[in-house]
Amino acid sequence: MLGSLWFRGNVLVYLEGEKALLPILVQPPHQMEYLIGAEYTGLIIKDFRMGPNLAAAQVINGNKDFDFSSHFNQPAFAEVSEENGTLQINLYETDVDNDYPILWLGVIRDGKMPVQNVIWEVLRPASQKDVAFAALVMD
């Protein structure tokens, strides 16, 4: 995606909320593509990390007892850009595990969102009760 680059660097990925990701492209272990919250939010994740992609395949193939979030919530090299109202987040492998900003993704239910030191955030309606979000926060 071309457009304005919001962020490029290492992050700790943190996914918030059940069923926050809607898979739209399934090609494990090489790539998974998700929408955050719902189809019309315009918040897209392209994940190129092998571990999280193999974990996603487990869940998609019906393994309901598999803990996807513990595999997804890993350090990544992230590129975040925006074009024509669509925010695209590309996640790549990184071998560095330091104190990085948190790339916080998910769905807010019932208007409850913990307060963090937010660098930037995007909030989009996902339904009448839910809001999809992506944010970069510092501890």
Nearest to 54 by CA among 41, 43, 67, 44: 67
Residue-wise pLDDT tens digits, 27-45: 878 899 999 988 889 999 9
Which structural domain range is residue 42 located in?
4-138
Taking the model in full, what pTM does it have?
A: 0.82
Facing residues of 132 across strands? 107, 124
- Residue range 63-103, pLDDT digits in tens: 877 788 888 999 999 999 999 999 999 999 998 777 788 89
**Which pLDDT score, from 0 to 100, does residue 17 have?**
76
Number of domains in the chain: 1
Band of residue 111 on the pLDDT scale cut at 50, 70, 90: low
Q: Would you call the peptide bond into 101 cis, given omega within 30 degrees of 0 as the criterion? A: no
What is the distance between the alpha carbons of residues 113 and 136, in angstroms, rounded to a whole number? 14
Ranges of H-type helices in the chain: 50-60, 68-72
How far is Cα 4 from Cα 57, in angstroms, rounded to an integer? 31
Q: What is the pLDDT of residues 116-134, one digit of tens each?
A: 677 888 889 888 888 898 9
Q: ω before 75 within 30° of 0 (cis)?
A: no
